[in-house]
Amino acid sequence: MTVLILNPEELKTRFPQSSESDTLRVRLIVQTLRFDYESNHIAIRSMSCVTPSSVKVWLHNIGKYDSQVVKKGTVIDVTGYFNGEDVDAIEISALNGSELTQENISVLQTISHLP
């Protein structure tokens, strides 16, 4: 089962048992903060937070992706595997940020905390 996460900082506290040998499939809805071309990872943050997350999204398992996903401020939808530190993405796409109203975000937050 894939776990929906809106705040990437919750990953390490909610799933401390995750590791390279015991990964957890996650779906992140977050905002791109910066893209590192050399290491091919995205620094991300929660949409409701101005501080960067310590969790990185690695793109080395994805062939081609829309260049919009690496632009600062873009709201992205990432599916991947959390290994206790970072997320290895298997799918990534940009979302229409204007469709993410406060009401929609509240619904997503409720869903993300369901058992």
Say which CATH number the domain at 88 has.
Answer: 2.40.50.140
Task: Of 27-36, 76-85, 92-101, give the lowest mean pLDDT range.
Answer: 92-101
Domain assignment present for residue 83? The answer is yes
Both tokens of residue 40?
Answer: 């091919």
Domain assignment present for residue 37? The answer is yes
> CA dist 74 to 85, 96, 112, Å?
22, 9, 21
Domain assignment present for residue 115? The answer is no
**In the chain, at which residue ranges do the beta strands (DSSP E only) sit?**
3-5, 24-36, 41-45, 56-58, 75-82, 87-94
Domain assignment present for residue 69? The answer is yes
pLDDT in tens, 1-14: 789 888 899 899 99
The domain of 89 spans: 3-102
Domain assignment present for residue 62? The answer is yes
Domain assignment present for residue 111? The answer is no
Domain assignment present for residue 89? The answer is yes
Using 50, 70 and 90 to split pLDDT, how confident is the model at 17? very high
73-109 b/e with 16+ CB inside 10 Å = b? Answer: ebbbebebbbbbebbbbeebebbeeeeeeeeeeeebe
Domain assignment present for residue 41? The answer is yes
The pLDDT of residue 100 is 66
Domain count along the chain:
1
